[in-house]
Structure 1
C-alpha cells in the first residue's frame, strides 16, 4: 500500500508522462488523489496514460517555447493553479566521441534536456510565485555529477539541469517554492535499454548484465517506481526544508 502524503486535490503537471519516470510519478500522484496534467509529445502513449490514470492530457514538445507556455496555460485554464511540477521530459541522444558528433546532435539533446527544463521552470514559476507556494522536481541524472566518454551532449545537458535547479531554488525560496532534482543512475526504462543497444548493438543483454553487476546495492538496475518514491517524498511536506539539492538514486554506484 502506498504512503499517503497529503497531496489530495493538488494540481500536478508531469512532462514525459507517457512512459518511464513520468508515468510512474503520475501513477503515484493519481493514487494520492492529485489532479493530473499529463504532458508528452507521444500522443498515443499519452492517451493511454490518461485513460488509465485520468486527468488532462496535453500533447506538447518541451523543446518548443510556445508549446511549453501552452501546456502551462492549459493547466491554469483547467485548474486555476499549479501546485506540483515534475519537469521530467528528456532524451538520451546519440552516443559517439565528440569528434564524430554534429552540432545538430548536440543541439537536439540540448533543446529538450536543457532549454526544455529552463522553459518549463520559467513558465511554471510565473504561476507559482503569485500563489506563494509550489514544489518542483527536475529530472537530472548521475550524469549531472560526472563525465562519460562518448556521451557529451547528455552529460552537458544534465549538468545544466543541476545548475538550473540551484538557481531556481534561490529564486523560488522567497515565494515559498521548493525546487530539487533527482539524479537516477542505471534504470530499466526505454532510455536505459536504448543505451545498452548503443553501447553494443550485437549484445545489449550482455551490457545490461555487466552494468547490473557494477551496482553495489542489489547488483541490478533500478525501477521507475523507485524514482517515483523519492519524487513523491520531495513533493510532500515531509521534505519541507529540502530545496536546491540533487538526490542521487543509484544504488550506491557513485558513493565510492
Structure 2
C-alpha cells in the first residue's frame, strides 16, 4: 500500500485497532489525523505519527465536519477515512432497556459512521476520489447472542456501507467495511477473562485487514478478519427477485 502524499483521518485512533491502523497508514506514507474523545491518548498517537490530534466526541453531529475541516486546513486534502470508533452494548437489548446506554451505542457505532461519511464525501470529491472504511464486526454478518444492541448497530453499518458504496463508486469514492471477529483490544478489557483460550485477533491483525481493503478492496465489500485466516470479502447470498421480474426499479423512496 502506497499512500505517499495522501491524508488519512482515523476515528477511535487513540488505542486498539485505530492506533494500529494509524501505524500502518503512516508506514505507507500518509499524513494522519487522529480523532478520539480521549484527548491525551489521541495526542500521544498523533505525536508518534507526526500527525494531527483532534479530540472530539464522534456522537456530536458537528464533530466529524469539524475534523474533516481540520484535516483539509492542515494538509490541504483528505483521501482516506477510517470510521473506527466503537463501543459495546453492555446490555442484552431484549429486556430492561437502559435508554441512555442504547442511545450511546447507536450514537458511537452507527450515527458516527453516517456523520463521518457524509462529512468526508465533499472533501474526497475535492481530492478527486478516496476511500472510506467503516469498522463493523462479525456481529454485522451474524447474530451475537447477549448483545442485541451492538449486533443491531453493526448490521446497520454493513447495510449502510453496501448501499453508500453503490451510490459513490462512480465518483471514485470506494466505501467498505471491515468485520473482525473477537479482538483483544481495550473494547473488551472488562470481560477479557471470559474468552479464556478462545483464539483472539490482535489490533494489528485487524489493521492488516484494513490495509488489504485499502489496497485492493472492491466497492461495497465487507471483509471478515478471523484468527489464522487471510482477510477476505464476505460472500453475501443474493435475495430472490419477484417471480418474472427484471432489474429492480431505482425508487425515490423519499417521494412516497
Deviation, structure 1 residue 79: 1.6
Please state whether the residue corresponding to 2:134 is helix, strand or coil: strand
Deviation, structure 1 residue 234: 1.8
1:250 aligned onto 2:246? no
Distance 1:161 1:73 in 2: 24
Once the two structures are superposed, residues 35-79 of structure 1 have per-residue CA deviations (whole angstroms, 9 ceiling, x without a partner) of 111110101111111221110110011100111111011011112
Deviation, structure 1 residue 17: 0.4
Q: Which runs of 5+ in 2 are unaligned?
A: 236-256
Deviation, structure 1 residue 177: 1.1
User: Could you say which residue in structure 2 is the equivalent of 1:233?
Assistant: 212
Please state whether the residue corresponding to 1:30 is helix, strand or coil: helix
Distance 2:4 2:175 in 1: 20
1:208 aligned onto 2:195? yes
User: Could you say which residue in structure 2 is the equivalent of 1:183?
Assistant: 179
Deviation, structure 1 residue 252: 7.4
- Which of 19, 24, 31 matches 1:28? 24
Structure with more of its chain in helix, by fraction: 1
TM-score (norm 2): 0.85
Higher relative contact order (CA 8 A, sep 6+): 1
User: Could you say which residue in structure 2 is the equivalent of 1:118?
Assistant: 114
Alignment CA distance shift 1:12-1:124 (3 Å) = same
User: Could you say which residue in structure 1 is the equivalent of 2:241?
Assistant: none
TM-score (norm 1): 0.85
Deviation, structure 1 residue 97: 5.0
Please state whether the residue corresponding to 1:100 is helix, strand or coil: coil
Alignment CA distance shift 1:252-1:51 (3 Å) = closer
Question: In 1, are the aligned partners of 2:17 and 2:207 still within 8 Å (CA)?
Answer: yes
Equivalent residues, number = 231
User: Could you say which residue in structure 2 is the equivalent of 1:131?
Assistant: 127
Alignment CA distance shift 1:230-1:149 (3 Å) = closer
User: Could you say which residue in structure 2 is the equivalent of 1:71?
Assistant: 67
CA RMSD of superposed structures (Å): 1.9
User: Could you say which residue in structure 2 is the equivalent of 1:55?
Assistant: 51
Deviation, structure 1 residue 152: 1.4
Question: In 1, are the aligned partners of 2:10 and 2:35 still within 8 Å (CA)?
Answer: yes
Question: In 2, are the aligned partners of 1:15 and 1:40 still within 8 Å (CA)?
Answer: yes
Q: Which runs of 5+ in 1 are unaligned?
A: 197-203, 213-219
Question: In 1, are the aligned partners of 2:94 and 2:148 still within 8 Å (CA)?
Answer: yes
